[in-house]
Structure 1
Amino acid sequence: MHGELAARIEREGFALLPEAVPDAGVEALLARLSTLSPGTEPRRRGGTRQLFEAVPEAREYARSGAMRAAAEAVLGPGCFAVRALLFDKTPEANWKVIWHQDLTIAVRERHPVEGFGPWSEKAGIPHVQPPTGLLERMVAVRLHLDDCGAENGPVRVLPGSHRAGRLGPDAIAAWRERTAPVDCLVPRGGLLVMRPLLLHASSPATAPAHRRVLHLEYAAESLPEGLEWYERW
């Protein structure tokens, strides 16, 4: 599976792995998430940040099991999780996401390092856009905690766009004109594995219900010149 998955990610920028996590594991994680205080529940597109702190079970998913195996298949055994997010589309939080690439990483402290910038802050955590090469060596693994069909506002991707580097508005428009989007329909317990630079978007759900997703980002290298990943599991 490792070689096939790595080849698919290299070629397409994404892969779907249905039935990766047993239902009992999904239920256990949902039970733990239900105990979060209202202040840490997912609200809008940012979802819940600092999830490794709020939900220790997320660390176990990062370190072992299907999510870890998928990351290792792409990045090798030395990889580690650097960010965890929880997303949930509901009737009260049913947002649209325009076509974009994921361009920022979370770090411990802000340090001026050549090639890193611009800087921003999200939920009190410093974020920065790293060099494109670093993003090309990362992967995101998304565990779906609910079935995600066409009516649930699934992630849509443009296959192969991860190989084009960082894209401006005109380049994104060109990719949209010449590439047929793919809807990532993922059953409960399934994984979506994708490169951060893959162009992706999503529409509001037409039949809003829970669409809970545990999103883990993995890297396999330390940051330069005093920069540190905000989390490393």
Structure 2
Amino acid sequence: MTLTGYDAAAVRRDGFAIVENVADSATVAVLLDELAAVDGPGAIRRRGSVHAVRNLLEAVPAVRDLARSAAARALVEPVLGAECFAVRGILFDKTPDANWKVAWHQDLTIAVRERREVPGFGPWSEKAGITHVQPPAEVLRDMLTVRVHLDPCGTENGPVQVIGGSHLHGRLSPEEIDEWRDGNDAVPCTSPIGGALVMRPLLLHASSASTVPDHRRVVHLEFAAGDLPGGLEWHGRC
């Protein structure tokens, strides 16, 4: 399957791409229905409403189907290769009760089955009962994120903003992040329903709070190209 306008070379060069029509209306409807029923340790609530859900690959069959779909594979395989697989799924939702902003950062942690002391891996943390760790930068360079929008996301909905090319420079110090932020233009990644932002984890990104009191639901899928060293295992593999 090919997706019109998708340029894998641009993802490698710029660290991101915005693609429409990754999930059709029927797929979005099924995802919304199954996500609405999710509760338990992976659901994060604020003022009674769920604004994030971790462990989606385990908890929601429709998310597993999305990660395995021809459309998702068409985005990921040209960058990571045909043997790649999904390793984590998260729901993010900005609502009037959970309308946060996120400072400029890189995505530096992965979810694993259990802690093993392997050189270059650390520090360690736990989120929703799942072990997380910061791996070496080379692991993150062989990963790709696909963020599928289940609601329209315009400039008023607190979209992710990115700084193109920043992923090519490894892990950045706080001082280097400030330099990138001050010296480069940020690109707001708006999307219609069913569209997706494809991005490298090491790409600098941020988001502002939404100015519109409505949902901004996004299924965040992470893909990897291979196994982890030293007996470490991805927590989810789909």
Contact 1:142-1:216 within 8 A present in 2 as well: yes
Gaps of 5+ in 2: none
Say whether residues 1:218 and 2:223 are aligned partners.
yes
Report the 3-state secondary structure (helix = DSSP H, G, I; strand = E; otherwise coil) of the residue aligned with 2:191.
coil
In 2, distance between residues paired with 1:138 and 1:126? Answer: 18
Change (3 A) 1:46 1:35: closer
Contact 1:161-1:197 within 8 A present in 2 as well: yes
Q: How many percent of aligned residue pairs carry the same amino acid?
A: 58
- Identify which of 203, 210, 213 aligns with 2:208: 203
Deviation by residue 1:144-182 (Cα, 9 ceiling, x = unmatched): 000000100000000110001100110001101111000
Which piece of structure 1 moves more, 193-202 or 36-45? 36-45
Report the 3-state secondary structure (helix = DSSP H, G, I; strand = E; otherwise coil) of the residue aligned with 1:201.
strand
**Residue equivalent to 1:11:** 13
Give matches, 1:92-111, under 5 Å. 92-111=97-116
Give matches, 1:146-225, under 5 Å. 146-225=151-230
How many residues align? The count is 233
In 2, distance between residues paired with 1:110 and 1:95? Answer: 31
**TM-score, normalised with respect to structure 2:** 0.93
Deviation by residue 1:12-49 (Cα, 9 ceiling, x = unmatched): 10000012221111111111112223765453698211
**TM-score, normalised with respect to structure 1:** 0.95
Say whether residues 1:78 and 2:80 are aligned partners.
no
**Residue equivalent to 1:32:** 34
Report the 3-state secondary structure (helix = DSSP H, G, I; strand = E; otherwise coil) of the residue aligned with 2:52.
coil
Question: 1:90, CA displacement in angstroms?
Answer: 0.3
Give matches, 1:54-93, under 5 Å. 54-93=59-98
Q: Per residue, is there more strand in 1 or in 2?
A: 2
Gaps of 5+ in 1: none
- Identify which of 142, 149, 155 aligns with 1:144: 149
CA RMSD in angstroms comes to: 1.8
Deviation by residue 1:27-84 (Cα, 9 ceiling, x = unmatched): 1111111222376545369821111222111111111231222111211110000000
Question: 1:122, CA displacement in angstroms?
Answer: 0.9
